[in-house]
Amino acid sequence: MKTVKLTAETRKDILNTLLKRSPNNYGQYEATVAEIVGNVRENGNKAVFEYTKKFDKWDINENNIRVTDAEIDEAFSKTDTEFVEVIKRAVANIDAFHRKQLHNSWIDTKPDGSILGQKILPLAVSGVYIPGGKAAYPSSVLMNVIPAKVAGVKKIIMTTPAGPDGKVNAGTLVAAKIAGVNEIYKIGGAQAIAAMAFGTESIPKVDKITGPGNIFVALAKKACFGYVGIDSIAGPSEILVIADETANSRYVAADLLSQAEHDELASSILITTSETLAKEVVAQIDGFLQELSRSEIIKASLEQYGYILLADSMDDAVEAANAIASEHLEILTKDPFNVMTKIENAGAIFIGEYSSEPLGDYYAGPNHILPTNGTARFFSPLNVDDFMKKTSIISYSREALERDHKDIELFANKEGLSAHANSIKVRFE
């Protein structure tokens, strides 16, 4: 993990390094993904089955592509009761948080007879992608499905890859059942995204696709955007910790490593005004690496994208944090709420030493599907609005239109659109 003095130059260098992790910089895979997407769009199940057999190594067909009730029952039997209860408590927290995001349709009427409003409706069908393979992510099931359910989406389908035995991770199935997924299909990769975007003989077309995935999944979502809505094109995970001399170095080190273990491209950054804390954190990291199970991944991540930045002041630290716009931002300072008020760009903010990042990953309630690679400057966490569509309502009386018709005609004529102007003008000839 590199320790450097925070300056305008080092901040620029770090930003450039971090941006290299964006899926937008992996153009060498786009042709492969485009071929997969095009094949699935053209050939449906046939292409999906071919790719699944090739990449996931099991004999998929139209009879076993969908997870059955018996498979879900089997998943519950394999999952310990304590974990099932934890999932249920997490669901309650996530549901309660997202219900506060709901908006209602509205109508505004005026004495002149004009009526303006907005009709808000849920999407009809939502698609969720959940990774499989080396790791399982029941928490991502909850974070993608619950806001859709709260929004009122009637049909939620999920795709997730199965192992060579044709089985899906038990925890993933349990979370999907508890969260309220309607249909689950045992496919993964770019082919799963294309199947949901265009529909196949077995898989219904959806209105929007959400959920994390590898570079092929991310690029497939990018390729299908416009045919279907997507949440974002997410990059590798990242954490930034702002800390001063009052911070507990052991906590800081543990929190930095919580993201570094995701994969070799994950980023962990500490910005501190205390050189003493910086040295203590390095020592704590060295100790943790002796005992953590994914230490090789963590080491690779820290070597490439791990930084400790020494800032002259807390204002400098905040300025750098806003420039980096990290997915997760922890504030471990003497006056963390004051620092929080100065943060403008972050996916999620964690305040105080008992609010470590995994609290948001699993349990507290806010969504853990967050903007990455600096996109927190203009993107938001996944939320209920992502599963709603808004339609404007306009109704004018003759009286109301008569007051404004000359303004509208002038506007249309200035744009050279005489038919637009005429559409208004004929009503007052």
Q: Report the C-alpha gap between 257 and 274 in whole angstroms.
A: 20
Tell me if 196 sits within 8 A of 127, measured CB to CB: yes
Tell me if 328 sits within 8 A of 309, measured CB to CB: no
Q: Report the C-alpha gap between 59 and 39 in whole angstroms.
A: 19
For CA atoms 419, 422, 423, 424, the dihedral sign is positive
Pairing of β 106-109 and β 115-122:
antiparallel
Residue 135 buriedness (CB in 10 A; 0-12 / 13-18 / 19+)? exposed
Q: Report the C-alpha gap between 71 and 73 in whole angstroms.
A: 5
Beta strand extents in 132-266 (DSSP E only): 155-159, 183-185, 208-210, 229-230, 238-243
Q: How far is CA 78 from CA 81, 159, 170, in A?
A: 9, 21, 7
Marked catalytic residue, from 328, 353, 357, 409: 328
* Tokens coding 261: 């273990």
- Helix/strand/coil for 165: coil
Q: Which residues lie closer than 8 Å to 143 by C-beta, 6 or more apart?
A: 94, 367, 368, 369, 382
* Cα 254 to the center of its chain, rounded Å: 23
Tell me if 318 sits within 8 A of 339, measured CB to CB: yes
- HSE at residue 136, side-chain half, CA atoms within 13 A, is 14
**Is-catalytic flag, 327?**
yes
Marked catalytic residue, from 327, 330, 353, 357: 327
Tell me if 335 sits within 8 A of 246, measured CB to CB: no
Active site members: 327-328
